[in-house]
Amino acid sequence: MREAVGDALSVIEDQACRLNCDMFLRDANLHSQPQTLSGRELVTELGKAMTRDRLRGENLALYEVVYSYLPSLRRIHDALFSRELHQNVKIPPTPPVIFDARIPAKAFWDEINNQVFVIRVDE
């Protein structure tokens, strides 16, 4: 996922790509004024929104449009629907079971947010 974010950061610098992404975010009601975000913030917010929606059990079809502008974000989509993720994280709807050893979605969100979406500058 980190690699996908990095690849999207290099593409978002293109003026036409940025304009299309801004229009998508505004039209999809994901951000009221996306033009106020830096390219890094825009890509990070898109990745966070996709992850949050998936952990809530929502459909990510809304983001299909943005994959034509930022193709690397499809890799985030694919990672969020991977078998490994579903086996290890409780993603709604969860079936009734006696014992569920999967981690809660909130704990996963905290970890993935820290590892992928918090960008640190090397010292």
Q: What is the mean pLDDT of residues 59-66?
A: 91
Which pLDDT score is estimated for 94?
63
Domain ranges of the chain: 2-115
Taking all residues of the chain, what is their mean pLDDT, rounded to a whole number? 87
**How would residue 21 be classed by pLDDT, with cut points 50, 70 and 90?**
very high
Q: How far is CA 68 from CA 17, 37, 74, 81, 109, in A?
A: 9, 20, 9, 19, 26
Given a cut of 90, is residue 14 above it in pLDDT?
yes
Q: How far is CA 100 from CA 66, 82, 112, in A?
A: 35, 18, 21
The whole-angstrom separation of Cα 58 and Cα 97 is 21
Answer whether 21's CB lies under 8 Å from 90's CB. no
Tokens 């709807």 correspond to what residue? 93
Given a cut of 70, is residue 121 above it in pLDDT?
no
Structure tokens at 47: 């990745």
pLDDT in tens, 76-106: 999 999 988 888 888 877 666 666 778 888 8
Would you mind telling me the total number of residues written for the chain in this entry?
A: 123
Q: Which of 82, 91, 101 is nearest to 52 (CA)?
A: 91
Which pLDDT score is estimated for 95?
63
Percent of the chain with pLDDT over 90: 48
Given a cut of 80, is residue 119 above it in pLDDT?
no
pLDDT in tens, 102-116: 888 888 888 888 888
